[in-house]
């Protein structure tokens, strides 16, 4: 019945800052599929899933707290090379929480975007 997750939407207040984070720091590719809505935003393609940024004057529910708490609502992106991701985050000056060993079978890295939206990146744990 279900085929998979089509997209995840996140609220952002500053689209320019969000685009710098998602495009320059994370390297996400802009999707050309976004229609001309009556509100600003951006769409990205991550494998077969899309990420939709929607500009909203109040921003995320976390009120722009960029503190990293892995229990907060988040979405996860599987990565092929965790070292490459960490290098990107460090080069972009992003604060992240690296948990290579935890109760899951994955190496996890958590990062907040400029509006406090939490993202998990994971890869199979190595030895």
**Distance (Å, rounded) from C-alpha 60 to C-alpha 91?**
25
pTM: 0.80
pLDDT, position 124: 87
Cα–chain center distance at 78: 11
Mean pLDDT by 10 residues, the chain (127 residues): 81 94 96 89 94 80 65 85 95 94 88 90 82
Q: Is 86 helix (H, G, I), strand (E, B) or coil?
A: helix
CATH of 7-124, one of 3.90.245.10, 3.20.20.70, 3.10.180.10, 3.30.420.40: 3.10.180.10
Helix H or strand E segment including 71: none
**Distance (Å, rounded) from C-alpha 17 to C-alpha 14?**
5
């Amino acid at each position: 019945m279900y085929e998979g997750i089509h997209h995840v939407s996140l609220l952002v207040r500053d689209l320019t800052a969000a685009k710098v984070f998602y495009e320059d720091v994370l390297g996400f590719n802009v999707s050309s599929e976004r229609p001309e809505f009556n509100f600003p935003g951006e769409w990205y393609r991550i494998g077969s899933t899309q990420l939709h940024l929607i500009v909203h004057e109040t921003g995320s529910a976390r009120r722009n707290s960029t503190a990293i708490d892995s229990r907060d609502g988040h979405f996860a992106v599987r990565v092929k090379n965790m070292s490459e991701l960490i290098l990107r985050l460090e080069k972009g000056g992003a604060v992240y929480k690296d948990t290579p060993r935890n109760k899951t079978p994955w190496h996890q890295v958590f990062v907040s975007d400029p509006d406090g939206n939490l993202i998990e990146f994971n890869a199979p744990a190595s030895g």
